[in-house]
């Protein structure tokens, strides 16, 4: 799977700007961690791009419908498994580093983007402490699961501050594309 193939699938099924930007944000976070861990950067980035590709068309059957589509398109089983594992209700465990990382960056990438949108300077100069303060405000970005963020950090066995900083750094690299520069 190449990034170009993943983008083609993503854009075939996802039309809304906000969901596309979420996919790009998660892909950037996955790429950051793949580089950090010495993993297959393109594979991890593709996993991030595709993790919610079926959500817009099949919200009640996500990511199960996506699994069928990706299998038909010949996407590697480890990418499909990671995507299945990012939704607890599928019952697919997160065993590999890629699976754990996708779950850990999904909600947090969305949260950091939301926090950047409301700042005058957007993501520029964003600090970990400001993200943590927003996490405590249950009314802010209320649909983002703080429980899943905490669970992802625990599963990765990473320090919360380090993980938040990593996601901020990852999204800063693509801030202009995400509209948070």
Closest CA to 10 of 61, 48, 60: 48
- Every domain of the chain and the residues it spans: 3-178
What is the average pLDDT across 35-42?
98
pTM for this structure?
0.97
User: Predicted confidence band at 173 (pLDDT cuts at 50, 70, 90)?
Assistant: very high
pLDDT tens track for 63-87 = 999 999 999 999 999 999 999 999 9
- On whether the 3-178 domain is CATH 3.30.70, my answer is no
């Amino acid at each position: 799977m190449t990034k170009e193939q993943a983008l083609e699938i993503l854009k075939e099924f996802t039309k809304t700007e906000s969901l596309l930007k979420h996919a790009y944000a998660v892909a950037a976070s996955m790429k950051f961690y793949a580089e950090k861990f010495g993993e297959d950067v393109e594979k991890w980035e593709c996993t991030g791009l595709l993790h919610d590709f079926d959500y817009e068309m099949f919200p009640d059957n996500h990511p199960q419908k996506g699994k069928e589509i990706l299998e038909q398109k010949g996407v590697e089983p480890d990418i499909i498994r990671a995507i299945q594992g990012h939704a607890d209700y599928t019952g697919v465990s997160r065993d590999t580093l890629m699976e754990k990382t996708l779950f850990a960056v999904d909600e947090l990438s969305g949260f950091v983007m939301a926090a950047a949108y409301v700042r005058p300077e957007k993501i520029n100069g964003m600090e970990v402490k400001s993200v943590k303060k927003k996490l405590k405000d249950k009314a802010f970005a209320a649909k983002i699961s703080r429980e899943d963020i905490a669970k992802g950090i625990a599963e990765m066995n990473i320090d919360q501050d380090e993980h938040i900083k990593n996601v901020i750094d990852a999204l800063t690299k693509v801030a202009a594309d995400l509209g948070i520069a």
